[in-house]
Structure 1
Amino acid sequence: MFKQISVIYLSLIAFVNVPAVMAAGGCSRPVVVAASPLGIFMEIDEQKKVTGIIADFFAEISQSTGCQFVYEVMPRIRALHMLETGKIDLIAASKTPKRDIVADYIGVASARISLISLKERPNSGNILNDLMSGKIRVNVIRGYDLGPKYLELLVQLSASHNLEDVIDADVIAQKIIYQRCDATIMAVSNFFKSAKKYNLESRLLITPIDFLPIYHSGFYVTKKGLPEKDRFFLIDKIISKVKAGRIKELYREKVSKWEEETNSIIFE
């Protein structure tokens, strides 16, 4: 009887210590993830709880490796600056040469950039011509960098005094409803959540901007803050799950029929 109890006791100790063992073989400390709204990929409620595809993805990695992911909620532009200075460990972001210098990039998806506006808005018959001629008031998300051509377009729109940057897509959706702006420029997947939240799906006109190249997005893992062993371990685990198609699966579990029909995202 005593021998049987001892075996059970030792088994329970082994079970309780599994996360500690896994953490020792994986991440030596919690991994700090910058969190800001990214549509269905990253959602943040009023209590600053982080949910969405990215949170689900890292929860699965945490379960299998013992690594802990700690989310720090902050504005997008601040998050990108903190990546460059090594004050956060990981961020979901578009690929740029500047970020490639300070962090390791893991590709997840590519997407077409579109002009998103209301169908009922009067236009000349060619909404892209209206955009380039300065007839459309455009709002974009502060800190977004979708490549050199995108940034050049923003400079051009700013010169015509028809551009404003705001904190997130919810603000843009509200301003479109109250006719305080006419359109936004981004990947449709980044506007899904806000469109659904404010019942805009059936009212939106999605116009791909063909002169802007497809942009690539994924995860950046800092080269500065994480111990090298942690960085290599984490990159390997993320790449393995991305290549296995897990983010694509999580995405398809969350999107609606409208989202699938209007989206231009391609998973790697």
Structure 2
Amino acid sequence: MCAIAGLTAAWAEAGCQRSIDVPMAPIGLSVSFDGERAGGIYPTLLRELAASAGCEFQIRRVPRARLLKMFEAGEADLLIPASASPAREQDGEFVPLIQVRASLLMLSRERPAPRSLAELVARSDYRLAVVRGFSFGTAYDGAVATLREQKRLVEEADAAGVARALRLGIAQASVMTASIFVSTLITEPDLAPLLKQVRSEPLEELGWSESGVYLSRLRLSEADRRTLRQAFGQAAKTGRVWQLFNDSYPPGSLGGSIRPN
């Protein structure tokens, strides 16, 4: 405890050299907005780190697709939450916070589900709805690229758009972490009735992967990246990130989609 307290005091004393710009997009219980006020798991984490690390975080709302472009162009300091992706390594330094597992999500319990992404791509009658900018590894990225070329991909700005596409029958399934999808249904009154219809199935290519935060290599100084790396890393190491998830979700609802890093 004394060692942790000492580290916290050192971060607070050093702090960040400037205000940290954090554009964020709504994503279920992880990030939400009431007007301009950000809430949810990750804004709560940032507010706690502001006190312990001596950094000021300026959170603002932007669409998910725009957020990714901003980060790639060096117009955002952090990308959070974000899955680890080799394509993002040149733009940012990744700090893992949690482990996630994406799965196939459907609203129909009668239709046989593909057991793999390869089988899904091979089934010409399948259309997939996804959130634009999400990534769950190279197998997922490859399947999405193929379906896009075949005009069998429905790309939405957020998980709520995906749920509505499934409800309308525009697509037969989606791929994302079940926790994101379910928490979106919980927070959207018109989508809440779909909760009892949700079916989640594993896909062979999609195992557990890391999710966390990217620190911009283009905008942040090495000193600020070091401060933030230590702060986020400590939050994951002490179990605080996992605790925030457990405090936000109904008991027992995270199994199979989120676990501690």
State the TM-score, normalizing by the size of structure 1: 0.82
Map of 2:40 onto structure 1:
52
8 Å Cα contact 2:15-2:53 kept in structure 1: yes
Secondary structure, aligned partner of 1:60: helix
Structure with the higher fraction of residues in helix conformation: 1
Unaligned regions of 5+ residues in structure 2, if any?
1-10
Residue 18 (structure 2) aligned to one of 3, 7, 29: 29
Cα contact 1:106–1:219 (8 A) shared by 2 = yes
Q: Which residue does 1:138 correspond to in 2? A: 128
Letter in 2 for 1:105: F
Residue matched to 2:229 = 235
Contact residue 111 and residue 266 of structure 1 kept, 8 A? yes
Q: Deviations over 1:185-228 (max 9, x none)?
A: 11112212222232222211101111234332111111221232
Partners of 1:144 and 1:260 in 2: CA distance: 19
Matching residue of 2:257: 264
- State the Cα deviation string for residues 116-150 of structure 1 (Å, max 9, x = none): 00134x42x34445664122332100111222211
1:242-257 equivalence runs, <5 A:
242-257=236-251
Counterpart CA distance in 2 for 1:156 and 1:85 is 26
Other-structure match for 1:226: 220
**Contact 2:136–2:206, Cα closer than 8 Å, also in 1:** no
Among the aligned pairs, what percent are the same residue? 26
Deviation at 1:234, TM superposition (A): 1.8
Note the C-alpha offset of 1:44. 2.8
Q: Return 236-245 or 75-84, whichever deviates more.
A: 75-84
CA deviations over 1:231-253 (Å, ceiling 9, x no partner): 21121111111110101000000
Q: Give the CA deviation at 1:173.
A: 1.5
Query: 2:60 is matched by which residue type in structure 1?
Result: E
The answer to whether the aligner puts 1:94 opposite 2:83 as a matched pair is yes
Q: Count residues with an aligned counterpart.
A: 244
Structure with higher Rg: it is 1
The Cα RMSD (Å) is 2.3
**Alignment partners' CA distance in 2, 1:64 and 1:177:** 44
Using the size of structure 2 for normalisation, the TM-score is: 0.84
Matching of residue 173 in structure 1 with residue 166 in structure 2: no
Contact 1:149-1:213 at 8 Å conserved across structures: no
